Structure 1
Amino acid sequence: MQAHDIMKEQVITANETDTLRSVIEKFINQGISGLPIINDKNKIVAYISDGDIMRYIGKREDVIIDTLYFVNVIKVNDGGFEEKVGKILNLTIKDISQKKVEKVSWDEEIESVASILGNKHIKKLPVERNGELVGIISRGDVIRESFKELL
């Protein structure tokens, strides 16, 4: 069995120029937690997940660098969590997304797909054919397909 046998062909995506606001709206409205980011040629250029967003808002400090001395970092965000979250909504998603995207070819064997999902601790893998996005596979897809004939 290969990736194309179990992948979902309808993939919710974002464009590399979209804002975090539009991605969060897709997460909420579509009930998803991650999606591939594509360019105008349907090439996968990044991936963004709820984990990427959590790491960004959890660690990010809004700072400015004093250009006179090049070493002084001045904290400028003391407004709290809600203010920090509000400020990042208009960022372009390419600013916080994962640039190194785990993906598989449409003819990848399912055992290899399972290995990547399990060993890399990721939830979904974009599937590409000839360099273009053609589908997506989740851990649930692999489990359902792998065990359905055995139960």
Structure 2
Amino acid sequence: MQAHEMMIHDVYKVMETDSVRAVIKKFIEHRISGVPVVNHRNEIIAYVSDGDIMRYIGKHKDIFVDSLYTVTVFKGDNEEFDERIKKILDLNVLELAKRKVEKIQSHKEIEEVAAILGKKRIKKLPVERDGVLVGIISRGDVIRNTFKSIL
């Protein structure tokens, strides 16, 4: 089975000119955790996930990691945190998104899709044809399509 046979064709995506606010709205509206970032030609130029946003939120001065298992949070001003969150919403999506995007061509076999998702430890893989976004495949899509005929 090839990628185009199992991918989701109607892909939620954001434009390279969108703000983080637009990304968060998509996440909430559609109950998703990541989207490809495309340019005006629908070419994949980045990918932004909830993890990227969490890492950005966590980049502030009142957290200190003592060890692998100990995190100390210094009590700061809640208003200061709220202000940082508001500023994040107005950032351009490319300030948080990963520019090196794992993606796969639409004609690739399911084994290659599974290998990339597993090895790279990612949840979703954008699918492209002729350099343009045409779909997306999740780990769940691979599991369903691999085992549905034998269960």
Q: TM-score range by the shorter chain?
A: 0.7 to 0.9
Please list, as runs of the form range in 1=range in 2, the aligned pairs for 1:80-99 lying within 5 A after superposition: 80-99=80-99
1:119-146: CA deviation from partner (whole Å, max 9, x where unpaired): 1111100000000000000000000000
State the distance in 2 between where 1:81 and 1:128 align.
39
Please list, as runs of the form range in 1=range in 2, the aligned pairs for 1:1-150 lying within 5 A after superposition: 1-60=1-60, 79-150=79-150
State the distance in 1 between where 2:43 and 2:98 align.
15
TM-score, with normalisation over the residues of structure 1?
0.86
Q: Give 3-state SS (helix, strand or coil) of 2:149's partner.
A: coil
State the distance in 2 between where 1:57 and 1:35 align.
18
The equivalent residue for 1:70 is none
Runs of 4+ off more than 6 Å: none
State the distance in 2 between where 1:60 and 1:127 align.
35
Q: Give 3-state SS (helix, strand or coil) of 1:149's partner.
A: coil
Number of aligned residue pairs: 136
CA offset at residue 26 of structure 1?
0.5
Gaps of 5+ in 2: 62-75
TM-score, with normalisation over the residues of structure 2?
0.86
CA offset at residue 98 of structure 1?
0.3
Q: Give 3-state SS (helix, strand or coil) of 2:82's partner.
A: helix
CA offset at residue 87 of structure 1?
1.3
State the distance in 2 between where 1:2 and 1:60 align.
43
Gaps of 5+ in 1: 62-76
1:83-107: CA deviation from partner (whole Å, max 9, x where unpaired): 2111110000011100000000001
RMSD: 1.4
CA offset at residue 60 of structure 1?
4.2
State the distance in 2 between where 1:114 and 1:142 align.
7
State the distance in 2 between where 1:100 and 1:81 align.
29
